[in-house]
Structure 1
């Protein structure tokens, strides 16, 4: 039995803690925040409850497997329900699309909303997504990946590698879509990893395929309930937790990890699993020279975009009710230029994403709880703490909503603002980047920091490590690490 210290109680850290405790190790989690869940947070304004992180669960079987393989049953703790339609899209010309939950209904819905050729073109693209998922789903996402040689070994032949085509971009993959609205819809999936569609590999076409083939799901009461269930399960497995306990360093010697420094005190450990942002880990916590190569690689990557969020407690209800809405701007490229360009700045005419669950547990009867997000550059390049900036930009976002047909300004009972500076303070992510490293470029997308560090005894999970960000992938990173460490 090893003494395992986990840095961070985000979903990756919790998943790793559960698996390692079930395998017989003594597991202790140290979390800088006063609670668990990481970016899967929750905020309450009076009688209104808001998820402040992910609002859609894909691949729910990943968490069902996690519970089942560690002696639990996820469905005893949470009620996972389909989101239908998956999303309501409004395009710059005023046309709209309700994307269905059921895969077989997607092409007819596209044809009805965007024209008879749209469904056929999208279906061809999703066939490519299915082929890519067959190539990377099991071989890449479920296994350790440590550099180009591993990627080549996992590719069964040259044809497979050519199909993955890491040099091709998502934007390039969308050139076969004749309708600019279809191309805009495809581009949006780059933001699922906080990235730029003009730079993210075409491999990202697996994301809409996964969403449509496996469906999009919601947890009644909010996705935070998923974190509640996993934290409770960890406790049942004997995991110990220390909250408001920031780790300030990792102690190593010639043999590898010796332990952590927490609040100035040394805590011995045989194994350390880091759920911290990889940039933060290598910049602030780890000085061991064996990590120099990973540090240099991270210096070449670009952190993901961040988000500017409004939490709106609204009187009355919106007709028709839609769980997810995406309202596109006239110039999508201008948004990515503002976020990822040489001179980052708040987006002048942003895409607006709104989540308003039809869930009686998150708002009083006859009212709605809206989570409104726009893509934003990180804190640092933009000083989101500058006096007046956040309030002025919040007013601008509400005005953009109104201009696109959703004027809720006279319905606001309470509002709260979350800026990239808040995300950085609350989660420790660099500049408040929502997904750790972006997937801008083939190396960043496919060769994230390895789960096994070059420092013996140090392992990485979470969104900034392989296989990437998002609720399913961080749980898969924990499964990889648990297999690498093995049973007690």
Structure 2
């Protein structure tokens, strides 16, 4: 049992999970969150009796969460009610074909054949076979371990693994080897957006994303995924960690090449032997550290591509259709139209015809009565960048784009405009203000580029005693990777302490 002071900056899932793991090891942990409640992007909004998750809507790789709870106290199933989705998502393609993608891998190929024609299932299974090889090549040495030049070198020396990862190919490029049906190509493209990336530039290694979802299943937390953040925060407190909200950190103090503590916006100084930063890496290196510290990492971050953001409608609807799928994706009419969405990431206007994602859980806890539904509608969108890109605070833009998204839904067979009781719009600018993510980038940097997924900021910083955790650090964004990031970081901290 040790008694070292650890300060965690930021109460997103990564910070909470790292705090719980370090508290379970006996360290004195203080977590500071700038918002009035913890959770970061695992947020929730209540409007007129409706409640909406405003962040992730799926749990994949449940074993990662099970390990977090088992390592810190009572098991996951004692704390949260995870329910496996029998239909992971309903996909609608441009010509009107619909696919209910099963939540179990052995049911996927027959469903594809029924929806898209004979042979579609075999094409997808061939791709998943490749993705499985990538998974086995990368998950232990990369996703579950600290990133290092030595680790990448060892991977490069394993010829079969290197051929599977294929860093010289894009995700779309590797998909083209297996998927002759353009609709399957659209399905694969969608997984690049899970990391805020462009499938034409994202590395082939992202093939693990659909593999993980379909191998481990898609799961939902009854009561909303916000409950996951609350459960980990409760675990932190039960282990003796101090969790402070409304406490914004203004700087990380460094002297003699090592971390000394933090300063809050209120002027308080909190000494620490170890600081774990669950803030965006660009914010840590560009705003919290003293000038000149971490210059090389700051230079490298300035040359990376930020991830995309999201434009969101929170719809409280009158009436309820029991056949409404938990998830629905409405694709644009063609791959060319989908490519225009990715081109818009770097443009000055949002995409005119983006894919539309709808999360509509059948959960009584999220609606005011049985004759209603709470829908979270998302389109991937350019980040907020008034100087060089889209200014989401420009007068009228948010409302015009909200109307455009609702019209696209209607064109694609899902017209709910006559049912709307309440409509709340959330733009990338809103996300930036609420979470302090630059531009509202959901995942920090994108995975665009041959080695981008392998070159995120490391969990161990160049400053002795300072560590990074969360979606902008290794191994990346999304609930499972953020939870793995916390596991890696806590292990590094424990070794240091």
Q: TM (normalized to structure 1)? A: 0.97
Equivalent-residue separation in structure 2 for 1:255 and 1:396 (angstroms): 52
Compute the RMSD of aligned alpha carbons. Answer: 1.2
Equivalence map 1:408-427=2 (5 Å): 408-427=416-435
Q: Aligned-pair distance for 1:265?
A: 2.5
Q: 2: distance between equivalents of 1:171 and 1:383?
A: 30
Post-superposition CA distance 1:194-229 (Å, at most 9, x none) = 100000001111111111110000000111111111
**8 A Cα contact 1:170 1:204, kept in partner:** yes
Deviation of the 1:150 alpha carbon: 2.4
Q: Is 1:338 the equivalent of 2:344?
A: yes
* Residues 135 and 155, structure 1, Cα contact 8 Å, conserved in 2: no
Query: Which residue of 2 is the match for residue 378 of structure 1?
Result: 383
Ranges in structure 1 where 5+ consecutive residues have no aligned partner: none
Q: Which runs of 5+ in 2 are unaligned?
A: none
Q: Distance in 1 between matches of 2:229 and 2:248?
A: 20
CA distance in 2, matches of 1:208, 1:289: 40
Measure, in 2, the Cα distance between the counterparts of 1:229 and 1:104.
32
State which of 241, 244, 259 in structure 2 corresponds to 1:242. Answer: 244
Tell me the distance in 2 between the aligned counterparts of 1:386 and 1:146: 43
1:16-415 superposed matches below 5 A? 16-147=18-149, 149-154=150-155, 157-176=158-177, 177-263=179-265, 264-287=267-290, 289-318=292-321, 320-330=323-333, 331-339=337-345, 341=346, 343-363=347-367, 364-380=369-385, 381-415=389-423
Measured after TM superposition, the shift of residue 155 of structure 1 is 5.3
Partners in 2 of 1:378 and 1:479 — Cα distance?
29
For residues 255 and 113 of structure 1, what CA distance do their matches in structure 2 show?
A: 60
- More moved, 283-292 vs 115-124: 283-292
User: 1:461 offset after TM fit, Å?
Assistant: 0.3
SS at match of 1:289: coil
CA deviation map 1:320-357 (0-9, x unaligned) = 22000000012110110112x3x232110111000100
Instruction: Output the CA distance in 1 between the equivalents of 2:344 and 2:30.
Output: 41
Per-residue deviation, residues 359-378 of structure 1 (Å, max 9, x unmatched): 11111112100000001100
Partner SS, residue 375 of structure 1: strand
Preserved contact between residue 203 and residue 452 of structure 2 (Cα < 8 Å)? no
Q: How far did 1:486 drift? A: 1.6
Q: Secondary structure at the match of 2:141?
A: coil
Please give the secondary structure, in 1, of the residue aligned with 2:14.
Answer: helix
Q: Deviations over 1:102-154 (max 9, x none)?
A: 1100000001111111100110000001111001111111110034x321224
Are the aligned partners of 1:140 and 1:154 in contact in 2 as well (CA < 8 Å)? no
Distance (whole Å) between structure 1 residues aligned to residue 160 and residue 375 of structure 2: 46
C-alpha distance in 2 between matches for 1:248 and 1:44: 30
Equivalenced residues, count: 485
Contact residue 291 and residue 454 of structure 1 kept, 8 A: yes
1:291, distance to aligned residue in structure 2 (A): 0.7
**Preserved CA contact (<8 Å) 2:141 2:151:** no
Alignment partners' CA distance in 2, 1:410 and 1:165? 49
8 Å CA contact 1:86, 1:99 repeated in 2: yes
Cα separation, 1, equivalents of 2:419 and 2:474: 43
Distance 2:91 2:252 in 1: 46
Partner Cα separation in structure 2 for residue 313 and residue 144 of structure 1: 43
Counterpart contact for 1:89–1:328, Cα < 8 Å: yes
Residue 304 and residue 347 in structure 1: after superposition, are their counterparts in 2 closer, same or farther (change >3 A)?
Answer: same
Instruction: Tell me, yes or no, if the aligned pair for 1:146 and 1:447 is still in contact at 8 Å.
Output: no
Check whether the contact 2:155–2:162 (CA below 8 A) recurs between aligned residues. Answer: no
2:155 and 2:161 in contact (8 A); partners too: no
Whether contact under 8 Å (1:200, 1:441) holds in the other structure is: yes
